[in-house]
Structures are given as C-alpha cells and as structure tokens.
Amino acid sequence: MKKQKLKRQFILYFCFTLVFSLFGPYTVSNSQIIENSAMPGAVLNGSFEETVIPGWGLVTNNSLTSIAVSKDRAHSGTQSLHFKDANNSTSGGNLQMASEKIPVNPGQSYIAKAFVNVVNQTHSIGYEVHYFNNENNKVGTATFINFQAAALGTNQWTELSVPFTVPDGATKVELRFNSGNPSLTEAYFDDVKIVKASDSTETLPENASFEAEVVYPGWSLVTKNSSTSIAFSGEKARTGNKSLYFLDENSNNPGGNLQVTSEKVSVTAGESYIAKAFVNVVRQSHSIGFEVHYYNAENQRVGQATFINFGSAVLGTNKWTEIQVPFEVPDGTAKVELRFNSGHPSITEAYFDDVTIEGTSVEEPPTEDINKDVVNPGFEEKVTDGNITGWKSEFEGPGIQVSTERARTGVQSLHLHDTTDKAGVSVLSDKIAVEPGASYLLTVYSNVISQTHNVVTEIRYFDKDNKKITDHRELNGNLPKNEWIDLKVFSVVPENAAYAKLAFYSGGISFTEVYFDDVTFKKVTDDSQLDREYAEPINLGEMVHVQLGQAGAIQKNSLGENEVYYHSNGHPGTFSVLDAETGKLKFSKVIDNTEAVWAITIGPDKNVYFAGTSDGKLYRYVPERKVVEDLGANPSAAWVWDLEATKDGKIYGATYPAGGVFEYDINTGEFRDFGSVTDQEYVRGLAVDGDYIYAGTGTTKHLYKINRHTGDKEELIIEGHSGENGFIQDVWVVNGKLLVAVSTINMLVINPETMEVEGSFGFSNMISEPDPNQPNMIYYKNGTQFYKYDLNTNVETLITGLPVLPDTPRVKDMAWLTLSTGETVLAMVTQYGEYMLYHPETNELSFVMLDLAATAVAIQSLETGPDGKLYMGGYQRGMSVYNPFSDEIEVNISSFAQPEGIGFMNDTVYFGTYVGAIMYSYDPTQPVDLNSNPKLEYDIKDEQDRPFAITSGENKLFVGTIPDYGVLGGALAIYDSETDEWSQQRNVVQDQSIISLAYHDGKLFGGTSVWGGLGINPKAEEAKIFVWDVEKGEKITEFTPEIPGIDTAPRMIGDLSIGPDGFLWGAVEGTIFKMNPETYEVVDSKVIRPSLYNSSKWFPYRLKWGPDGMLYTTLSRSLIVIDPKTLDYKVLVEDFMNSMTVGVDGSIYYALGSELYKIPVPETDATLRSININGKEIEDFHPGKLNYTMNAAPTENIVVELSQLGANIELVHGSENTKIIVTGTDGISTLTYTITWADQLCKPGKPTKPGKPENPGKPCMPNKPGKPENPGRPQNPGK
C-alpha cells in the first residue's frame, strides 16, 4: 500500500487472518461495537480493528480482501468505493459487500444499476439482489448477473444493470457486489441505485455515491485540514490486523497540527491510572504528544490535560515502542479522552496500536465462561428448534444436520451434505478454552459418501476480544468411502489466544457428502523443550530452474495469427503465447496456483482453455484481447488431466482423484458434473465425437463411452488390455477409428463398431491431425525418429532423410499451419519447449527457438555431498548443485529427470529418478556432458517408479523404491562397484515400499511404508524394519519396532540413520526412536508430535546429524532439533517441509517450495577459508573438500585461514601426510583436512594395477600411483 495514496483516500482495510475457503456472513454496526466496549476504563476500538462505511458493510471477511472509500476514481462527485480481492489462492475466499436494506414493493419490477471501473479482473464480478421481509429474514433466492471481463473492459466506467421482480413476502432488498472465488479483482463502484421499471422512479441506497464521511468507531479527528489524515490501515499492526495510520504533512502551517481523539472513557475521580499505547514511527520532525483530557458527567472540561511529548530519540523508527502517560483523575472528573498530537509545524507519519488505560479503578470486563472441552462431541444431544447443541452452521442454507443414518459410536453423527455449486457448507463449534503456547490435537472421525473437493478440518484461534488470530487446517483429499477414518489437526496455540473453535468444511465449491463423529480436542504433553538458541533463517533463493511444460497447443487464431501456447512448470507456472513462425514471445502471465498444467485445448471460439492440477480452475486465454480469464472451478475434482472441445461450444475435462468428467458450456458459463466414471481415481484421457465422450481410466485400464446428453455410459472392452494395471493415457477419434494410447508410448488403432484392434504403433505421446492433402495420413514422433501412419491400410512408414529429433518422451501438440509464405507445415512442440516445423512438400524439418525463460520449480530432493556442496533435484524436472561457500549455483541441468533420492559412494553422486526408477551417476569433478555425465547407470524394472532411499557401504550402493501407479511392493536394488553389477529384489517386505536405508557393520537396515503407488490402498496395517545380510544377499529378519507410548502403529518408518553413538535411529511420523542394531531393541524413544499421516506417504522424515552431535529432523513435516542424549527438542521452523540437510559447517538447509533456506550454526563451523603451503595457496582448495595431494616434500610451512574466528587448529605432521584438525568454537565440532605429500620416493602401484601408458605414475606427479598398501581410487587407480 503506497503512502501517497493514503493522503488522498481513507483506507479502510478489513484485514482478517486468511481462512482457506471458510468465510461466513459478517456485518458489524457502530452501535454493536460501542455496546460491546462501553465499560469503565475500556478504550473503545483500542486496537483499531473496526471501521464503518455509512450504508455499506462486508459480507465476507479475510485478510486478503478490502473495501475503501477512495478519491482515486469517481464516476460522479469526488469519491467511489475501492473494491479489492487479492485472495486468488483459496477457493471460497471471495469479497462480498452489501448495501443497507432498501424498501421495495412485492410484485414490482425494478432494475438495480451501478457503475464499475475495473483495474483488473480474473473472475466474473457479480451484481446481486437479495430479498428480505419485514423481520429481515431472507425471502427466496437472490437475483444476480455475473459480468465477465469481456463486458466490463478495464479503466473505464461501465454501467451494470440487473432487472428483478420482488417476490411475494419481500419488502426490502440488499444490493451486493461479489468478486467471485477465488479471484484477483480490483475495481471501483459508484452511483448505485434502483430504478422502477414502470416509470423510471429512482431509489437510492444510503451513501449511493460513497461521498459520506467514513466513521472510525471509537475515534475521531480534533483537527481537520488538507495536509493531515488518519486511516485504519493493514500496513502495520502490533496485534490483530490493523492499526491507526497517522499522517501530518502540514509543515508550513504553524497551527496545522494533527490531533486524533478517542471516545470518552469512564474513570473514577481520585484514582491513579496509566494511559498506554504502542507507536511505530515512519518519520518524525516534532515530538509526538500523548494526552489525557478530563471531563465531568456533562462532558464539560475539567482542569488541564496531562501529557508527555515523545521525541524521535525515544521512539526511533520502524519499530513498535510503548508510550505511557501516568495520571491521577482530578475531582469532578467522570471521563477522560486520549489524544495523539503531531505538534506544529511537523512532518510526522506513524502508526498507533493497542491503546489501553490501566489502573486500580479500571473494571475488568466480565469473564465469559468458556467450555474447557468440546460440547456434544458425539452429536448425541437432542436437537432443539433446529439448533445442534455446541455446533452451528457457518453459512446460510441447508447442509448440516444430526443424523441417525450412520454413527461410529452411539446412535447419531453430524451429516454434512453440500449439494450446491454456489458456496461450501461448514459447521463451527462453540468456544473451547485453550492454553497459550501449548500444543493441541483435534481428532474427528469421518465417513465419506462422496467427495469432489478436499474435506477441510480446521482449528481457529481467537483472542479475548473475539478477534481471530490464525487458523490451522488439514485438507483431506481422496478419503476412503463408506468407512470411519480419523482426521487429525495438530497446532500450537498462539500466545495471545483465549479460545478456539473447530470447523469442518466441504472445501469450497463441491458436491460432498460426509458424516462426522467423536470429536476430541486435547492438549498434547509438550514438556521437553531444548534450551538452545538458533539464528533466523536466511532465504538463499530459488535453486532449480527448468524449461518444462506439460501443456502446449498450436493454432491459427481468430486474427489469422499462427501462435503457440505453452504453460511452463513453476512455483507458480507461467502461461506464454509465442509467434508460431518466429518463436517470439507475444504474451505471458503467471497463473497463480498452477505449478503444473496438463490439460489444454482450443475452443470453437478460437480461445485457449486450460486447467491446472491443484484447484480445478478452468482458464481461458482470449487472443483478440490478450487476457487470461478465470472461469471458476470445475465441480469434479482439483486435478485436470485432459480437456477436449466440441463444435457446439462445450469443453470437456478429465479429472483426478474423482475419476470424473465435467462439461463447461462456453455460451452460458455453466459447469456440469458427469460424476465418477467408475471406481478408478483417474480419467487420464478424453475424446469427444458426436454425441459421445470416450474416457480412459487408471490405475486399472478401462475405456468408457458416455452419452454427453444423458450421461449414460458403457464400457468398451479392449481385449488384452481392459482390466489390466496401468492407464489409458489418451484417446482420439480420427476418421471413424478409435486411437487408444494404452501406455505413454503404445497406440492401438481400433474399429469402434467391433472393438477389433486393427493396428498399433509406438509414439511419443501425441499424434497429428490428418494431413490436409492426405486425409487418411497421420504423423507422429517416436524416440528420435519421425513416422507416418495410413489409417486406410494400417501401415506405418519411417520418414527418412530428416535430422535426428530430440528424444523428448512427450510431444505436447501437433497442428497443421499455413505460414505467411503460403506453405503448409506440421508444427509440433514438446514438453521441453522444443519446437519444430515439418515441411511435407520438401521433406525437411526446421527447428524454431521459442522465447521461453526457464522457471524455478519446487525442490524435490536435497542432500549434502562429500565435497560440502548441496545437490538438489527439482519437482518434475531439473537438477542443480549449489556451492554454499561461494553462494553460487554451479550446475543446473534443466532437462534432468525428477530426482526422488540422492546418494553418494566413492565421491560419485547417484540420482534415483522418476519416472521408471532410473539411476544416474554424476562425477562432480568432471564437466557436465548430457551424454555421459550424468550417466544412465541402471533401470530398476519390475513395476518400480520412485527411488527415494539411497545409501552406500562396502563399496556397494543400496537403493529402495516405491512401485508404479496402482501397484504394491517396492524393490531393493544393489550396485556392486567392484564387479560393476546391479541386482534387485522385489517385495523384500511383502506389498510394502522401501523409503529409508541405513548401512552398519555388514547389515543393511530398511524402513518401509505400507503405501504403494498412487491409486491403490495398502494391504498391510503396519510398516516394518527389515535387516539385510549384505554379504549373503538375503533378508535376516523383518519386524515392527516396539516403541513405548507411540500413539498409532507405524505406517511409515524412515529415515533410518546410524548415529555417532553407534545406535540405529529412526523416525515414525512424529516419533523418534533409538534402537540397538544388534538386538533390535528400542532403547529410547519419544512421541514429539501426534501421528497424522496426512502428507506424503513416500517422503521419509529426514534425520541428519550436526557436527556437534545434535539430531535434525523433519518429524511431522516441520524442522525440529533433538538432543540425542535427553531427547529434549525444539521446533525451529513450523512450515511444512519434506527436504532438509546439514552442511559440512553445521548450517541447516531446508527447502520451502522452490526456495532454499539456511539457518547458520556458527559455533559448529570448523571449516577453513584457505590453506597456504610454502607461501602459495592450494589452487583447488574448497572449504568442503577435506583431502588434498601436493606435489611437494613434507613441510611445516603451512598457514591456514579460519572461517570462524575463535576456532581451534591443531597440525599433526607426518612423513606421508599432514592433518589439520579444526575444532569449532563450541569445542565439540571438528573437521580434519588431510594433505598427502607426493615426495621424490614415489612408489609404483600394485603389479595387478599397472599405470596407463600415457601416465605411468611418474615420480612426484599429481596423479601419483597408489602405493601397494594404498592403491589409488577406481577412477584413478594406482598403476
């Protein structure tokens, strides 16, 4: 918010804590505020949280929406209403404001009118008429029109009109403006009125042109002039969300000071008090006065004011400072006023907050008796007059009731049924008392009938003044049907919280039916806090940059321009429009909440429709206006896999996890939900032909034919494929034939009448439209070659004479274009943004570089290498290497497959990648070569997909995997570097995945997850630890560790790590345990957080050891440090995270989204900044590299530079090497740098390992051969 704008408008920010899709009707009047605060000694609205715009109020409230009376734009007069919704990330987070109620006549027809001036708009803006009777009860349903961006334009005044007829029983109407949800909408409204249709008589709502003076409950100006202003602002706040913004720029007028005063506060004569407030100064040229003025019962002044003037030396700038004025109430005084005074003349800008009066005579407000436990937790109490004891529906309308249909215990439960696509359904508990700073666990059991959106469980915290502080929620997607399962939310109570409320919500626009029962909300014991201070985290920035997109489309647009449309993966992603002939960028826009987009299509209107994987939103790009429009969320599910368009103006979408299909009508803007196609979670591919939709499912292959008018469906059986594990990846209907992709690379050509397979071919995920000159010919890429296929003869032909095509596995679109030269070409774009034009007349292939910038993706994996550098993998794609000592990204390979796990052996880095569980090696001492470094090492087959667990020992690399979609049973793969051989074993623990591995003394310990690939429920109830005999290559045993006091049997075990104490340490959700590796006995453990299992079922909970022996972990997906001796712990970062590591210097690194963070731990830093030998610095020195070989005789002339002043150095000289032992300032953490001397008496390598002819181990060369008792490393063996 800009300060210069504050000089010209009263900014009235209703800033409340953000609630994910949970917003209820909210109105507040000045009289209510006064009534609630009018008690002796209480300063009315002392935290500046409430504001009143005459005639208007908010219906919704959240921290990212606001209304304000503004002078920036006006249709008439000098002011209008500024309306801003920045709440694009949450479904349900719309901004809605309402007028005061306006009298109307039942049966009469009217037109509601208003003018709007749009700054930006991503959702239709609703103008609504709501009906009420004399008792202010709602009558019927509202009349409304949603105005699209195309109708309103931008930066111009446009009139809105909504005709309506008042229903019987209604005597009043309310006019509302609604931003839609979610949206990024900013607009100005002015000149609101109602016009009688019969005679054009106008009725104006109160403050129709927003010219009336804004009311600040409890506060008012004493002085007024053009150079001073106040506002209730969300820019800064000490508590709550707002403070009083105070601006005096009247330096040229000696009498032009700014004074603001409180309402009068009751006090007792003769008593002593202290007026208190907090101030945050931006700038100050004069002392700021804090004043107490006295009044008798008749509001007449008594005596002189008491005041203190606070100078800039006392207050400072940009920090909250408490100011106090002690005072004794004179005789005859009944009330006081508190004032802030800028002095005169001055230039003063400041914020005030939390104004109070304290003293022996101040009467404390009556203490409310808040329940200590959940009221009616089992919903067994009798419902009276429709009211559920202890609970209430948060929104208007049906959807919440007590039911006897299902019950986990007792005979009743709470039934939540969301049947509308207009708003969600939510139930809210009564207040529950909480202890500030303590940890609490909400548990509720749910039984889902149907679900098209996350079921939200939430804890909301409020202060003693009933202002919401924050909330903690879990989004529960894809819940099992028709069984009772527990949903949990863990949270730490804010320090200023007085009570909590619990909320259960259908999750925004959805069709969800669920029962709730047996609610508990209990304090969790939390008495073992670690007394250790850590520095604040440092944001190191984005680390993995890629050019990757899963959605591309090509067309000649309505203006006759050839264009490529491409969505780049990112955090968030970017939608780009490029010239299809030159590759030049024409338009781009970051699309919030779209990390990846798979679904895109061209509509019959030549507009581009696309949808993401996180919120179900459908977007439309309009080439004629170069704008992206938000069309709202589909009613099926959040992840959209495919979109197809029809000539009659419909868009069809395929979804996960509902396994559903939806329709969007371009002409009406309405969605239709066809429901789930089958019991499968995925509809991956769609085709539409005539009256029918063809839908392919997974994780079991089925193909369905759906009547798009009636919704009737039938399965089409594909012999040898239907019912098998896997996916129908995509479907096309071409020239009357069904083309069905039964995998990402295998296509079947099918006669739809007989379902006979007439042909097949391999392809790279996309086929062309038929050749305009040969209608039965289609084209496609397969690997690095280009093919055509004749649909008449079912003959595939390799097209020769072309350059090698990129081996990119997925082509995203292929389309025929007529270029500006008149030539017809086949254009194609791949997932990596590679763009090619095939010229059929000349049989040539040309490449066009698309002007696409690399974008940052979420960090998927993170490990510290033996060289002290950080190795990272990106989500969906990308690998990078970060040097923490130079603060540089040294390597970034954008085309590298998604690394799930990273491990090390003999100074080589190993990446386990998705898809297909393919292993790569990388030599960090050699340059990157995309053909050989990284190098493909091994494809872990047998239905394996994600290698998360990697460790090494005895010159062997061990890899644990998660299986493919719809499959149970991971694998253990082992690479023997001495024999250069791989082996693998499936189902080491039957039907379980391997998520963690640790090697110790000939044994490999593995931890499992009961979950397998996406799309299949686990069979096992408990996770296991298995022990593998490395020498014999067989399993010794498997067991579930007996962990005392654990709240839930383990379902994931991992990480596993051998500690400095020689014990095996393990993590189970929120529990840490220590096990004897010989007896398998758990010798110590602690339940730090409750077991929720509400996040990834594959990511292990990281365990990393600091140089000082402290254990760092991501238990419960937060960053926690544990003292292994006492198990005392401290939560360092509450933010959700999967990946963290500890640097060689003891610094803690963790990933949040695409950004890497660092918490320095300087006392553990035992690194060196440089090593100088005989006056010369080691050339290849790096603080993380601990071993060096020097072409010199041993010397004691060694000078080192410490990274941390105060660290200790010990040099141990020997004839063959010198060891530099550095101890950190903590006296515990150590690193040893070793310098090996290559003197004149070089010895030959072992006879069995002769030196290379070109480098036979000459004396004193850097590549000195290994001695017989110390042969060189395999990559540089002694000769």
Domain coordinates in residue numbering, the chain: 9-37+53-203, 219-359, 391-524, 856-1160, 1164-1237
Type of residue numbered 1064? L
Reported as a single tens digit per residue, the pLDDT across 320-358 is 999 999 999 999 999 999 999 888 777 889 999 989 898
267 within 8 A of 333, measured Cβ to Cβ: yes
**Quick check: do 219-359 and 391-524 share a fold?**
yes
290 within 8 A of 321, measured Cβ to Cβ: no
Reported confidence tier of residue 977, pLDDT bands at 50, 70, 90: very high
Reported as a single tens digit per residue, the pLDDT across 692-749 is 999 999 989 999 999 999 999 999 999 999 998 889 999 999 999 999 999 888 999 9
pLDDT of residue 210: 67
Type of residue numbered 257? N
Q: Above 60 in pLDDT, residue 755?
A: yes
Q: Compute φ and ψ for 1273, nearest 5 degrees.
A: -70, 160
User: 3-class SS at 132?
Assistant: strand
pLDDT of residue 35: 31
Q: How many angstroms separate the CA atoms of 825 and 813, rounded?
A: 14
Question: In sequence order, which residues have a C-beta less than 8 Å from that of residue 29 and are 6 or more positions away?
Answer: 52, 57
- Range with the largest mean pLDDT of 440-449, 505-514, 797-806: 440-449
877 within 8 A of 893, measured Cβ to Cβ: no
- Range with the largest mean pLDDT of 9-13, 59-63, 525-529: 525-529
Task: For residue 1063, give the nearest of 1055, 1075, 1072, 1054 by alpha carbon.
Answer: 1075
Residue with tokens 């605060």: 37
Q: How many angstroms separate the CA atoms of 24 and 18, rounded?
A: 13
Alpha-carbon distance values, 466 to 103, 470, 497 (Å): 33, 12, 9
Lowest mean pLDDT among 150-164, 532-546, 874-888: 150-164
Q: Above 80 in pLDDT, residue 215?
A: no
pLDDT (average), residues 211-224: 73
The superfamily CATH assigns to domain 856-1160 is YVTN repeat-like/Quinoprotein amine dehydrogenase (2.130.10.10)
Residue with tokens 């200023």: 496
Q: Which two tokens stand for residue 524?
A: 């969790």
Q: How many angstroms separate the CA atoms of 951 and 960, rounded?
A: 9
Reported confidence tier of residue 150, pLDDT bands at 50, 70, 90: confident
| CA angle, residues 145, 601, 843, in degrees to nearest 5 | 155
Reported confidence tier of residue 827, pLDDT bands at 50, 70, 90: very high
For residue 940, the 8-state DSSP code is -
CA dihedral 52, 58, 62, 68 (to 10 degrees): -50
CATH class label, 391-524: mainly beta
Burial class (CB in 10 A: 0-12, 13-18, 19+), 580: buried
Q: How many angstroms separate the CA atoms of 1075 and 1084, rounded?
A: 7
For residue 152, the 8-state DSSP code is H
Q: Above 80 in pLDDT, residue 396?
A: no
pLDDT of residue 360: 54
> Which of left, alpha, beta for 938 (phi over 0: left; psi -120 to 50: alpha)?
beta
Lowest mean pLDDT among 483-492, 803-812, 1101-1110: 803-812
924 within 8 A of 865, measured Cβ to Cβ: yes
Q: How many angstroms separate the CA atoms of 308 and 291, rounded?
A: 7
Reported as a single tens digit per residue, the pLDDT across 963-972 is 998 899 999 9
Reported as a single tens digit per residue, the pLDDT across 550-581 is 999 999 999 999 999 999 988 788 999 999 99
Listing DSSP states for 318-375 in one string gives SSEEEEEEEEEPPTT--EEEEEEE--SS--EEEEEEEEEEEETTPPPPPPP--BSS-S
pLDDT of residue 452: 75
pLDDT of residue 571: 74
Task: For residue 937, give the nearest of 947, 927, 266 by alpha carbon.
Answer: 947
Which of the listed CATH numbers 3.40.50.1100, 1.10.150.110, 2.120.10.30, 2.60.120.260 matches domain 9-37+53-203? 2.60.120.260
Question: In sequence order, which residues have a C-beta less than 8 Å from that of residue 575 and are 6 or more positions away?
Answer: 565, 566, 567, 588, 589, 590, 591, 594, 597, 610, 619, 621, 628
Reported confidence tier of residue 934, pLDDT bands at 50, 70, 90: very high
Reported as a single tens digit per residue, the pLDDT across 77-86 is 888 888 887 6
Report the chain's C-alpha Rg in angstroms: 35
Listing DSSP states for 1177-1242 in one string gives E-TT--TT--EEEESS---S-EEEEESSTT-EEEEEE-SSEEEEEEE-TTSS-EEEEEEEE--S-P
Q: Above 70 in pLDDT, residue 50?
A: no
pLDDT of residue 230: 76
pLDDT (average), residues 5-33: 27
Reported as a single tens digit per residue, the pLDDT across 450-463 is 887 788 999 999 99
pLDDT of residue 202: 76
Q: Above 60 in pLDDT, residue 1211?
A: yes
Reported as a single tens digit per residue, the pLDDT across 1051-1097 is 999 899 999 999 999 999 999 999 999 999 999 999 998 888 888 89
pLDDT (average), residues 615-638: 92
Strand 1056-1058 vs strand 1111-1113: parallel, antiparallel, or unpaired? unpaired
pLDDT of residue 859: 95
CATH class label, 219-359: mainly beta
CA 369 to chain centre: 38
Q: Compute φ and ψ for 1105, nearest 5 degrees.
A: -100, 130
Cis peptide bond prior to 947, omega within 30° of 0: no
Between residues 614 and 1137, the one the model is more confident about: 1137
- In DSSP terms, 115 is beta-bridged to 159, 190
**SS3 assignment for 274-327:** EEEEEEEEEEECCCEEEEEEEECCCCCECCCCEEEEECHHHHCCCCEEEEEEEE
End-to-end Cα distance, the chain: 70
1075 within 8 A of 1064, measured Cβ to Cβ: yes
pLDDT (average), residues 1157-1176: 95
Reported as a single tens digit per residue, the pLDDT across 250-266 is 756 555 678 889 988 98
Lowest mean pLDDT among 359-373, 772-786, 1142-1156, 1179-1193: 359-373
Burial class (CB in 10 A: 0-12, 13-18, 19+), 773: exposed
**SS3 assignment for 3-52:** HHHHCCCECECCCCCCCCCCCCCCCCCHHHHHHHHCCCCCCCCCCCCCCE
Other beta carbons less than 10 A from residue 686's beta carbon = 24
pLDDT (average), residues 755-772: 95
Average pLDDT, the chain: 86
Reported as a single tens digit per residue, the pLDDT across 261-295 is 998 898 999 999 999 999 999 998 888 999 999 99
Q: Which two tokens stand for residue 94?
A: 């719309």
Task: With residue 149 as reference, give the H or E element that holds it.
Answer: helix 149-152
Reported confidence tier of residue 381, pLDDT bands at 50, 70, 90: very high
Encode 121-131: b = buried (16+ Cβ within 10 Å), e = exposed: bbbbbbbbbbb
pLDDT of residue 1248: 42
Reported as a single tens digit per residue, the pLDDT across 1007-1047 is 999 999 987 889 999 999 999 999 999 999 999 999 998 98
Q: How many angstroms separate the CA atoms of 743 and 754, rounded?
A: 22
CATH 2.30.110 fits 1164-1237, yes or no: no
